Each structure stands twice: as structure tokens, then as C-alpha cells.
Copies of this chain bind each other. A is one copy, B any other.
Amino acid sequence: MSNIEALPLVEPQVAEGVVPCCPPLTERPLTAEEAERTAAMFKALGDPVRLRLFSLVASHEGGEACVCDISDVGVSQPTVSHHLKKLKEAGLLTSERRGTWVYYRVEPSVMAAMGQMLTAATPVA
């Protein structure tokens, strides 16, 4: 077990504020703790309604959307609120109240970190 000096290879081409959550999935096996944290993010996108809500916010003008603009996904309004809360807890969205309406926006760094685990992980095969 030679000592590891190559810590920075975890982040090959990190964007601005990308949090280096975990190395690409092909780099090395995730530890139990890494898997726990990362799985929570993938899990947040693992529900059809949440994924639609997320894409609605992400594709909205300025990456920001009022709840009233994205509430038409086929479930009741409390359910929408529930899913938005889950996405917020996973760190994928942030919310801000401005006057009457609440606006949600995406957290680009987290999304980029997740993407890098998969794209940078495309193996030699």
C-alpha cells in the first residue's frame, strides 16, 4: 500500500464551484460513507415527479421558477411541496421567498459533481 500522493486526481476538470464529493465511479470503489452521501443525491432524482420538477426548474428562465409555474405535474399541491422539500434537503435546489411567491433554483455545483461521477467514469471498454 504505497502512500497516496495523488489526491487532486479526484477533480480532473472541476468547474467553478464544484464540490469534489466523490471520485468518478470508475476511479476506485466508493467507501461506505461516500456511497451514503452520494446515493442520497441520486435518490432525490430517482422519482419521476421529482425529476420532472427538477427539470422544470432547471429549464426555466434563469434557472429559477416559482412554485406556481411548475405545479402541474399530475399530483396534488402538497405533494409538490413535499417533493421540492426533498430536493432541497438533497442539496439540489434552493428556495427563496420573494413577496407572495417562493422561487426555486438549481444548485449547479452539485449537479455538475454528480455528472462528473458518471461522465468521467465512462470506462475504457
A residues touching B (Cβ–Cβ < 8 Å)? 15, 25-30, 32, 35-36, 38-40, 42-52, 54-56, 58-59, 62-64, 73-74, 105-106, 108, 111-112, 114-125
Contacts and interface: CB of A to CB of B under 8 A. Distances in A.
Given A115-B121, A121-B115, A125-B106, A47 B39 contact: yes
How many monomers of this chain does the complex have? 2
Which of A28, A42, A51, A54 has the most CB atoms of chain B within a 10 A radius of its CB? A51
Contacts of A115: 115-122
A118 to B, nearest CB: 3
B36 A48 contact: yes
Nearest to A18: B122
